[in-house]
Each structure stands twice: as C-alpha cells, then as structure tokens.
A and B are shown apart, each in its own frame.
Chain A
C-alpha cells in the first residue's frame, strides 16, 4: 500500500526527521489560508500516488497567498497519469543548496534491508541508477541487529557529505530505519533530502510503501489507504481477500494461485483472446469468496465469457463449486462460463456443478480455447 507524500512525511516527523512546515489542503481556499499562516513563499504539491508529479506540472511555487490559491486551483483540476488530483500539500519553500537521495528497501537477493544514499538526489535518481550506479552507495543491514551508527556514517562518507552534517545525517538515517521497521514498510524514501542555503538538512519529499501482508498489525496505517486512488472493483476485491487487477480484454478469469492465473492469461492470449482481468482467489477459497469474485468479474461490462480454472490443493473443489452455484443464483450471469476443475475434491465439485449449464474442459489449453471461442460468439470447439 502506497502512502501519500504528506502521510509519509508526517510519519518521518514522528521519528525526528526534519520536514518543511506545511499542511494538506483539499480546496484552493484552504491552500491560501495555509500560505497565509506560513507567511513565506510556498510550494504547492499535488498528492497523487504516482511518480513524475513535478515533470507533469503538479509541483509549483507560489510567492503570495493569493498566488497560492490560483496555483492550487489549477493543480486541483489536473489529472496526473490518469489520476485526478484531490489534495495538495502546501509546504514552506526551502532554499536548496544540494539534493541528496536516502532510501531503505528490501534487497530480495541479499535477503536483507538495504539503505541507499546518493549525492545525486532529485528527480533523476532512476536515471542515475541506470547510467552511473556507482554514484549510489548501498549498505545491507542485518535484520537481526538493525542499523548500526557506523553504517549511517559510512553512507555519509560515501556520498562525500561535509563532516559538519554527519551527525544530523546519522540521526535522519536512524529515524528512517525506525520508521521503516515500525511501519513494516517495503520502501521508505527521502528524495530529495536537501541541504538548505542556511545549512540545514530537510526531507523535502517522502514516500512510503507499506507491506500489505503486515497491515493486520497496523490499523492506523491501514486507515490511511486512499481508496479514491484505486478502481472500486479492486477495493471490493481486497475486502474479500482477493487479488484482482482489471485489464481491458473480454474474458473474465477466476483462478486459484497467482502463477496459474498468469498462465491462464498467457494461454488466452496464445489462443487469440484477451483477458479481462487477473484474479487469484487464493488458497482455501470459501464459497463466500468465490461468489464475491464472480460478482466482481461480472461487474465489468466488457466481459463476454468467464473462464474458471481451479486446481485444488489447499483450495477444495467442492467448496469452489458451491461458491460458483451460490454466485450464479445471486447474479444470474448471462455470459457463457467455461470451467476446469482438477485436484483436491474435484470429483465432488464436478458433481455439484453437473446441472449448472457450464462448459467443461479437461486441460488448461482446452479451457482457454473454449473460452476464447465463446467470447467471440462462436460455437465451442
């Protein structure tokens, strides 16, 4: 789950990381009020959960409260990469002498958290990573020991930070580490961390991505989720513990297991169709979950056929079959449905579905071919 910049920075501030004075606003008038309170030049920053806000014109300077209102009006009417801007952050503008990058994430290969810093911070850090990776200094942190002071110092030395800043940089590094740890973040990033013209270190921008699997122990963070930023069907899916991503094709897919779900999509394409979604009903899918999944798939008007591919393991075929029956009674689907059921309790499942008027298939390839054919309005092969 991604957090907005303003949310991330509020968390950083709790861990002693200096951030600019400022607040979030949902209207241009609020933005003006905040600018008056700050009584300085301000930066108006769109709060959307995508990168490249600055390059899209979603981050702009305002010299007076009146200008703050005008700029906020414009930004609040923008769409950035398809996402409407609903909030802006109004921050005191800082005099920037230098931009640094500082971030922590999970290093999959090393199986440890990695803290990274670069003297070439700012909007082009991805470009830096690609073209001059040696400018990014990385240290791996032992998850059983945590960040050691010398490691933060090594980073400061590695990016040629002047000696006077080492202490503050170390404190910011420790704060960021603790925030990453306490929030179960997959990413905690300050870009840029700036040295101001009056020689202070400030986190001008912040980004956090929280591990969805850990939200059960972070009710406060779970409440920060901005449901305006996702498709309603995806919100609905999450409520039932389903993993759903809407796509543009015409064949709805309900599959158990992410790998098999992707494979089913691959096969639909291989046989000339287009999948309407990725949907993994997960392990141990209950009838209730299956019914919810079918409702979500059929809420997409592009869906011309539905492919069920269930290979029972922890998921039991009879349970899925009962869910499908319940869902069909409830939503009365008008599109043809192709089902393939194999594995644990598959025989029981097939008996339950015997009178459900579904097209059956034995192999994955056969199921995909039949789904493609009926979605195109043809007879099943």
Chain B
C-alpha cells in the first residue's frame, strides 16, 4: 500500500513547540498519523495539543519511551543540522527534514554521516511524505489526495500538490507521495524512490516531478530504462526559465550535464517516460 510511511509509523516531531511545528503536528494528528511525542529541549515533561502529545528534552529520551520509528524536523535552519544528527544518533531509521535554508556544507557532512549509519533522511527543504488514508509525515495538505496505486516522487513542494490534486480530480489515487526536496544535497533521491516504488506491490504507476538544475533527472531516466517495469509519467518545471546565474568555472566543470529542462525531457522520453506539457495533463498520460 505504501513506501516509507504507513499505519505502522510512530512519529516524533522535533521542534514541536514552534509556530510551524505545532500547526502541522495538529494537521498530521487530524489526518490520523500516529504521533507519539515531540522534542523541545527545556520543555520535557510538558504536553501540547490538549494533552495529546508529550514533549521530551531529547530525541534519545523520546525514542526510548515511545518506540518512535520516524522523526520529522521543523526546527529553524541554524539548528536543523544538529537535529538530524541527534535523530540519527538516537537510532531513528527515518528522518524527514522540512526546514528550508540549511547550509549546503552542513548537508554534505550530514549526508556522509548518515550514510555510514544506515539511516534514511528525506529532505531537507521538502514537503515530506503522504500515504493517503494512512499517514502524513510532513506538510502536504491531506485533502488533495486519495488512496490509490500511483507513486509520486518530486523535487518540488507545491508543484507536487498541484499534481496530486490533478490526479484526485481525475479520480486517481496515490500509494505514497515523497517530496525529496529541492536542495542540491539531500538525503533521498529519485532513484531511491523509484527502486522502492518498483518493489512495492501496491504501486502500479509512477509520477516523477523534476525541475531544472543538476542531473538527477537524467540519472533517474537511465535507472528507469534499466530497472522499471511500471509506467512512468513526468513533468519538468522551468522549461521556459531564463538561463540561471552560473556559479563560475568550477560549477560548470562539475555539473557535467547542462541542467536544462530540454535535456531532461529528452533523457526521460528516451527512457520511455511520457512527459507532460503542464502538470494538469499528467493524469491523462497515466
């Protein structure tokens, strides 16, 4: 029925007392997500949301007592890196970081560290995950998707909502939606999700939403050609964007591929993926 999250998810919220943290904890609870606790150093022992969610001083303490198997991070960018390290060190197997604006060098250290730990990170700068009808771990509005057999993976936030909303209006449901985030260095990429969707018996079709920059879409296209038996539809944002400000020689040297939408579309089409002209066209391509 899903990948990464579902009925068995036992979720912690790091940064639960902040404005966004509290609002979205409430939204996730209403959706039916099993939220077992929150973390806010200095507020351990208190409860929020009318006594529904206990607060702990540390992720370790929260995990020991609640048996949490996932954590979502809403703490501000300057503390987000530390929050990810804390969750990883407490042995939380799935960490979802919503926070935007995390410094890229921090993310390189985080990524190399969690890879050694065998922990999965989704994000940062992402909308999180939604398994319709089961669990929502993130900020994706719950009322724009129904349960179904389409797996959605996206680098974008709100553009993902757009696509799921279009699917719902067309009567199509989603198995799991993963927003992997738009930062240059993130925890989970397209290929990780494609692999999981291919293995998930309840996912029958896949939607991949990309955007200009980097070469992740091209790599995903290669992976699709070699490993995916399920049909894939796609949309790439930024097809008409003016060429971005380039980062100087070294940037151009490393990036390899052009990062242009046209090249991504070409690579995906070559791999047999149907690429939409605009996001509301996707349901008709599946």
Whether A111 contacts B112 by the Cβ 8 Å rule is: yes
Whether B249 contacts A313 by the Cβ 8 Å rule is: no
Tell me if A213 is interfacial: C-beta within 8 Å of chain B. Answer: yes
Chain B residues within 8 Å of A207, by CB:
248
Whether B249 contacts A342 by the Cβ 8 Å rule is: no
Chain A residues within 8 Å of B161, by CB:
311, 313, 342-343
Whether A313 contacts B250 by the Cβ 8 Å rule is: no
Interface size on B, residues (CB 8 A): 65
Whether B212 contacts A213 by the Cβ 8 Å rule is: no
- Chain A CB count within 10 A is highest, among B98, B235, B238, for B238
Whether A184 contacts B103 by the Cβ 8 Å rule is: yes
Q: How far is the CA of A21 from the CA of B235 in the complex (A)?
A: 53
Whether A105 contacts B254 by the Cβ 8 Å rule is: yes
Whether A187 contacts B248 by the Cβ 8 Å rule is: yes
Chain B residues within 8 Å of A257, by CB:
156-159
Whether B241 contacts A262 by the Cβ 8 Å rule is: yes
User: In the complex, which of the residues B19, B159, B250 contacts A263, with contact meaning CB atoms closer than 8 Å?
Assistant: B159
Tell me if A321 is interfacial: C-beta within 8 Å of chain B. Answer: no
Q: How far is the CA of A363 from the CA of B144 in the complex (A)?
A: 13
Tell me if A364 is interfacial: C-beta within 8 Å of chain B. Answer: yes
Whether A365 contacts B184 by the Cβ 8 Å rule is: no
Given contacts A207-B248, A257-B156, A263-B279, contact A106 B240 (CB under 8 A): no
Interface string of B72-107 (1 = CB under 8 A from A): 000001100000000000000000001011111110
Chain B residues within 8 Å of A314, by CB:
20, 24, 98, 127, 139, 157
Interface locus among A92-100, A196-204, A277-285, A326-334: A277-285
Main secondary structure of the interface of A (DSSP, over half): mixed
Given contacts A112-B108, A114-B254, A211-B105, contact A106 B184 (CB under 8 A): yes
Given contacts A214-B105, A216-B78, A265-B241, contact A111 B185 (CB under 8 A): yes
A23 → chain B closest CB, angstroms: 24
Q: How far is the CA of A302 from the CA of B278 in the complex (A)?
A: 26
Whether A129 contacts B251 by the Cβ 8 Å rule is: no
Q: How far is the CA of A106 from the CA of B109 in the complex (A)?
A: 12
Given contacts A126-B249, A260-B162, A263-B159, contact A213 B278 (CB under 8 A): no
Tell me if A356 is interfacial: C-beta within 8 Å of chain B. Answer: no
Interface string of B6-48 (1 = CB under 8 A from A): 0000000000000110011001000000000000000000000
Quick one: which of A232-277 are within 8 Å of B by CB? Answer: 245, 247, 255-260, 262-263, 265-267, 269-270, 275
Q: How far is the CA of A243 from the CA of B43 in the complex (A)?
A: 35
B81 → chain A closest CB, angstroms: 11
Whether B182 contacts A258 by the Cβ 8 Å rule is: yes
Tell me if B280 is interfacial: C-beta within 8 Å of chain A. Answer: yes
User: In the complex, which of the residues A189, A209, A213, A217 contacts B102, with contact meaning CB atoms closer than 8 Å?
Assistant: A213
Given contacts A257-B157, A265-B240, A282-B100, contact A126 B105 (CB under 8 A): no
Tell me if B111 is interfacial: C-beta within 8 Å of chain A. Answer: yes
Whether B247 contacts A343 by the Cβ 8 Å rule is: no
Tell me if B252 is interfacial: C-beta within 8 Å of chain A. Answer: yes
User: In the complex, which of the residues B106, B249, B278 contacts A191, with contact meaning CB atoms closer than 8 Å?
Assistant: B249
Tell me if B215 is interfacial: C-beta within 8 Å of chain A. Answer: yes
Tell me if A103 is interfacial: C-beta within 8 Å of chain B. Answer: yes
User: In the complex, which of the residues B98, B144, B209 contacts A343, with contact meaning CB atoms closer than 8 Å?
Assistant: B144
Interface string of B131-157 (1 = CB under 8 A from A): 000000001110010000000001111
Given contacts A260-B159, A364-B162, contact A107 B254 (CB under 8 A): yes
Quick one: which of A334-351 are within 8 Å of B by CB? Answer: 342-344
Q: How far is the CA of A365 from the CA of B276 in the complex (A)?
A: 13
Given contacts A181-B105, A259-B158, contact A105 B250 (CB under 8 A): yes
A356 → chain B closest CB, angstroms: 22
The interface size bin for chain A is 35 or more
User: In the complex, which of the residues A103, A111, A214, A343 contacts B250, with contact meaning CB atoms closer than 8 Å?
Assistant: A103
Chain B residues within 8 Å of A105, by CB:
247-248, 250-251, 253-254
Q: How far is the CA of A136 from the CA of B256 in the complex (A)?
A: 13
Chain B residues within 8 Å of A258, by CB:
156, 182, 211
Chain B residues within 8 Å of A211, by CB:
103-105
Given contacts A103-B249, A189-B250, A344-B27, contact A213 B101 (CB under 8 A): yes
Chain A residues within 8 Å of B20, by CB:
283-284, 314
Q: How far is the CA of A313 from the CA of B100 in the complex (A)?
A: 14
A115 → chain B closest CB, angstroms: 9
User: In the complex, which of the residues B98, B214, B253, B280 contacts A129, with contact meaning CB atoms closer than 8 Å?
Assistant: B253
A-B contact pairs, 26 of them (CB 8 A): A103-B249, A105-B250, A107-B254, A108-B185, A109-B215, A111-B108, A112-B108, A112-B112, A116-B254, A129-B253, A184-B105, A187-B250, A189-B249, A214-B105, A216-B77, A255-B158, A262-B211, A263-B162, A263-B235, A282-B100, A311-B161, A314-B127, A342-B161, A343-B144, A344-B141, A365-B278
Known: A105-B250, A259-B154. 17 other contacts (CB 8 A): A108-B214, A116-B254, A125-B253, A126-B252, A133-B253, A143-B112, A184-B105, A214-B106, A259-B238, A260-B157, A260-B159, A262-B237, A263-B235, A263-B238, A266-B238, A270-B277, A364-B162
The 9 tightest CB contacts between A and B, nearest first, are: A259-B156, A257-B158, A259-B159, A214-B103, A105-B250, A262-B238, A260-B158, A311-B158, A262-B237
